[in-house]
Amino acid sequence: MAVFQECLQQFNKSPIDAKKCRSLLAKLLRLIYSGEVFPAQESTTLFFSISKLFQDKNQSLRQLVYLTIKELAATSDDILMVTSSIMKDIQGGDSVYKPNAIRTLSKVLDSTTVNAAERLFKNAIVDKNPILSSAALISSYNLLPIAKDVVKRFTNETLETLQSYKQFPSSQFELHEYYGNSTSNLPATSFMYQYHALGLLYHLRNYDKMALVKLITSLSEGSSLKNSLSIIQLIRYINKILVDDESLIQHLYPILAGLLKHKSDMVELEACKTLINLQHLIKDDQFMNIITTLQKLLSVPRTATRFAAIRLINKISFKHPEKIIIVNIELEGLINDPNRAISTLAITTLLKTMGAGTIDTGSTGGESVDRLITKMTSLMDEITEDFKIVIIEAIENLALKFPSKHKKLVAFLTDLLREDGSLLLKTSIVDALFDLIKFLPDASAKQLILMNLCEFIEDCEFTELSVRILHLLGDEGPHTTNPSYYIRHIYNRLVLENSIVRSSAIISLAKFASVCGGDVASNVKILLGRCLNDVDDEVRDRAALSLKFISSNQKKLIVSDSKYDLAALESKLTHYLNNEANFATKFDISEVPIITNEELKSLEYNKKVNKLDEGSTDASESASKDEGKKDTEKAGSDDVANDLLKQQEYAQELSAYPEFEAYGKLSKSTMVPVYLTEKENEFVVTVVKHFFIESKKLVLQYNITNTLPRSVLQDISVIAQPDNEDYVEDFIIPLSELKPDQTGTVYVSFSTPSIEDEELLAAFGNTVAYTNKDIIDEEGNVDERDEGYTDEYQVDDLEIVSGDFVTPLYNSNFTAIYDALPSYQSSVAHISGADTLENAVTKLKSTLNLLPLDGSDYVPSDSTSHILKLLGKDVWGGKVAVMIRLANSSGKIVAKIEAKAETENFSAIITSGAY
């Protein structure tokens, strides 16, 4: 308030003290920038007082006046009174504050007065001064929300500016005392106005794809764009166009290819990044141009450029590691780079290229692995633990993706486990080894890791890790060829460790007795009997309970083959406890889904595979941040709702409708809604499919969003017409009203055929029927007397595919499962919409909704044939295994699909719906 009063006093004085007023305006701006908000009345009073400062010609004061007016314009009333003063300065003012005046004018004008300033903006855009031109272009951005039609009339001037050459005024640097007389070596222009002009043109043309393509083509011909940022922006516009319309790749690829040899590193990196994102659209020889450019950038002295280049190479290595083998020499040289983020990315990338075929493919491959591991070992002593964890994750991911390459990598992890380190580092190594035990099909590899873990807990100083390892030994040890070896190590913990570890060891031993039986059970009973006299209550109680369960042969109380879904259990309990009215009835645990160990392993494996696709680049970035932030991000990444929890939410929503009460338990819902319209349409329609297998019902949940700003939709329903006569419509639950920007739901129920009918697949034609009424005021009300008009809006068809009836399932021995399944069906077909083996694999995975095993989802780029192995579980409870032999024949992908299933007739549905 003191600043406010002082401002009023000084600004109204005559004559004006420019120095004092500048100081007060600076204080005022500091208050505003720090979050202080002036009430409308005070803001308006200040505004009127500041406007009197236009009487003074001091340049520095005038600049601060414009800054302050621009900030107060949002909260003041009657701001249009300064418009004439601002326009006067723009027309004949000093070049020092002209740009400030233009930017302030764009904040002061509204939709009714902007036409009066149109000529001023046009003249400023084409002005020879690049600073003034940039100010006018940026101000045009501010005018777009309130006067887009006026800004569209700036198009010709903006194009002229984009292709012109503008120099700084000769007095530009003389205005600053810092430069003195040394202005001869300073740049004549920055071409920054090209960046601003290109951005404005994009905003004016982004709804017209062909106009945008024409603009890009015209700018790429010749060398009209001099500013590197504007060229980068042009590349991003090309990327956006190609993402929306891949058919334009032949027209736009030459432009991107030409920019791979630009003089600016930034431009080359952006072109490489865009082409890598579009690698499925370009040929192998074209892709090698990207590798060559990145290879050159790896040797530049600038650290940021080297990091960006190796980051892109690391991204390529996730899907096509064989393509970057040619840069292995450069990557090995970067292992000792002073920047540890670069050295870590070099190691993780080399690990992937070796997984592509250099390991165990001959003496050279073996030597390269030994050389890499030697370098990693020496590097481990020099880098921080954050980077060590990134390397550990890369080794684990490689071993999971290429199971045959695990031997030397597992040896490296176990050696690293024996060295000194913090709990965080040891936990990451143990987590990696746990995952390898779960997902590696090689039984000998599992036993080797288990033996190393046994040795580790002999000297482990961390109780948490000892407890976790003992739990794992109890789960995996009984199924090995020599359980007694692990029992000895577990019993050592009963003698030498604290009470927490002893308690865990008791349960682990009980699992051996329960699973192995016979002499093993007798020996374990003796060991547990000795624990009945332990000094700790928890240890004695666990020993007594375990002995009782073993003696009474209560195996399920010790070893469980299933567990409750914890996310769904938490959701149900939270819903139950939030309403006291629920306490009248007991909590129904039967509503919480039970997950078998096999299904749990599938979920964990899926999570690991998805993590591979996300890339370790993010991990490298987080490794360069502080440790606390990394822990927060890691915890956040694990807190993702799983599919079963999402299905529980759908089940709760459906249970609110009495029409669905008789349908029974919801068997399966599609997790990702299917878009039936473009996201920019006046109506955005998505659909979720809900299957009730027991009652043979299908419920289609249409989520409809009204994007019309001046219309209210009423009596909304969806007419769904199946092409399969076995699908019979039961009823429709319509939506009464939908206001602008609201989303509502329409349900359509169908009776479905049974699995015996073999005609489960269908396609639905969909039409949205509604009554449209116009909004009559700003509050969104409609005229009650207005009956509106009825209309229909046809959207895309919806398909019921074979993948809707299955969930992915993991098993380390695909061949055994496949051979054991009874029902067999095969077919041969062309995979439509796929021109490469990789695209065919991606499409089949998505369509069939099955889990690829044995690393069969990885396709080497030079392959002409491939075998894809898929496994899942259908909604009737049976396993489904599919082996697909793919071949590339003259650009067409031919597939022989062999499906086997436990559920009769389902293998035929898989083969008929695969393509």
**Among the listed residues 810, 855, 835, 893, the one whose alpha carbon sits nearest the alpha carbon of residue 321:** 855
| pLDDT reported for residue 235 | 92
Do residues 769 and 664 share a domain? yes
Do residues 794 and 666 share a domain? yes
Is 246 a domain residue? yes
Q: Burial letters for 635-671: b for 16+ Cβ neighbours within 10 Å, e otherwise?
A: eeeeeeebbbbbbbebbebbeeeeebeebeebbbbbe
Of 216, 247, 272, the residue that ends a domain is 272
**Helix (H/G/I), strand (E/B), else coil: 652:** helix
Do residues 670 and 791 share a domain? yes
Do residues 669 and 570 share a domain? no
Distance CA 677, CA 169 (A): 53
Is 685 a domain residue? yes
Low-confidence residues of the chain, pLDDT below 50?
175, 358-365, 615-641
Read off φ and ψ for residue 563, nearest 5 degrees.
Answer: -150, 160
Distance CA 489, CA 508 (A): 11
Alpha helix positions (H), 245-283: 249-259, 265-277
**Helix (H/G/I), strand (E/B), else coil: 695:** coil
The number of folded domains in the chain is 4
| pLDDT reported for residue 367 | 58
Do residues 839 and 785 share a domain? no
Distance CA 534, CA 515 (A): 25
Q: Cβ atoms within 10 A of the Cβ of 580, count?
A: 7
Is 843 a domain residue? yes
What CATH number has the domain bearing residue 834?
3.30.310.10
Distance CA 768, CA 746 (A): 10
Distance CA 595, CA 427 (A): 26
Of 779, 800, 821, the residue that ends a domain is 800
Is 189 a domain residue? no
Distance CA 333, CA 294 (A): 15
Reported as half-sphere exposure (CB side, CA atoms, 13 A), residue 653 has a value of: 15
Do residues 820 and 905 share a domain? yes
Q: Which amino acid appears at position 800 of this protein? A: I
Distance CA 717, CA 795 (A): 13
Distance CA 908, CA 903 (A): 10
Do residues 814 and 793 share a domain? no
Q: Cβ atoms within 10 A of the Cβ of 767, count?
A: 13
pLDDT tens digits, 36-61: 888 888 888 888 888 888 888 888 88
Do residues 792 and 816 share a domain? no
Is 450 a domain residue? no
| pLDDT reported for residue 204 | 87
Of 757, 784, 800, the residue that ends a domain is 800
Q: Which amino acid appears at position 199 of this protein? A: G
| pLDDT reported for residue 112 | 81
| pLDDT reported for residue 266 | 93
Q: What is the pTM of this model?
A: 0.67
Do residues 857 and 907 share a domain? yes
Do residues 616 and 580 share a domain? yes
Q: Which two tokens stand for residue 305?
A: 């450029």
Distance CA 616, CA 348 (A): 8
Q: Say whether the peptide bond before residue 740 is cis (omega within 30 degrees of 0).
A: no
Distance CA 907, CA 913 (A): 10
482, 504 contact by CB (below 8 A): no
Is 289 a domain residue? no
Distance CA 106, CA 138 (A): 9
- Helix, strand, coil % in the chain, rounded to nearest 5: 60, 15, 25
Is 159 a domain residue? no
320, 352 contact by CB (below 8 A): no
Q: Which amino acid appears at position 766 of this protein? A: N
Do residues 638 and 770 share a domain? no
Three-state secondary structure string covering 215-240: HHHHHHCCCCCCCHHHHHHHHHHHHH
Alpha helix positions (H), 814-854: 814-820, 837-848
| pLDDT reported for residue 720 | 92
Do residues 821 and 894 share a domain? yes
Domain that residue 883 falls in: 805-913
Q: Which amino acid appears at position 239 of this protein? A: N
What rounded mean pLDDT belongs to the chain?
82
Is 7 a domain residue? no
Distance CA 752, CA 222 (A): 62
